[in-house]
Amino acid sequence: MASPQPRIGVVTYPGSQDDRDALWALGALDADAVPVWHEERELPSLDAVVLPGGFSYGDYLRCGAIARFSPATAAVCAFAEQGGLVLGICNGFQVLCEAGLLPGALLRNESLRFVCRDVPLRVERADTPFTARCEAGQTLVIPVKHGDGRYVPPPDIDPAQIVFRYRDNPNGSVDDIAGVCNEAGNVLGLMPHPEHAVDPLLGSADGALVLASLVEAARDRALTAV
């Protein structure tokens, strides 16, 4: 019997701009990518959720601070609390921190300037649902594009929650942290954009390792639910 195609939702907030890119990239990696509007109070049947990049609600208060109160965010929190896989990319990472699903905060870049370029990342953990196709210590090249990407962790963060570090820190993040997971390991926030690095024609296909890991983990979840 053929493996089921995992259903992965991509939440669109007012101001999201990378939702269509995420939908395309997940579809290219054999997922059934499902759009989810921010006003939806219940998620459809899903095996994983992605919160994409952009400027939800125009960042009028703080990045992700208003999106944290969207009905769909509450549904994503409930999904995560039940063990569901959740990936937040850039603005999605900010939303997850504001919602309390991830520790720490994202602040203005140290340079006070918007940064947009490819950056090398070191994989700190290859044993998460988001990095199973990677190797610990491996370098991935994935683009960033943000003005508020300086990650500041809480003083008591568990080092095991650090999944990615910058090899060339573009924003002043503490300890070069580029991505963190929750203690359970089912929620990941990542500032670089893997959905923009799934085709060599774009300069790098390293982002596909992250998204394909998520697709495989979501497929395993779907098989377990059958």
Which residues are known catalytic residues?
90, 193, 195
DSSP string, 171-204: S--GGGEEEEE-TTSSEEEESS-GGGSSBGGGTB
Are 103 and 163 contacting, i.e. CB atoms less than 8 angstroms apart? no
Reading the block at residue 48, the tokens are: 């994983």
DSSP string, 51-116: E--B-GGGGSSSTTTTGGGSHHHHHHHHHHHTT-EEEEETHHHHHHHHTTSSSSEEE--TTSS-EE
Task: Please give the distance of CA 16 from its chain centroid, rounded to a whole number.
Answer: 13
Nearest to 17 by CA among 145, 200, 148: 145
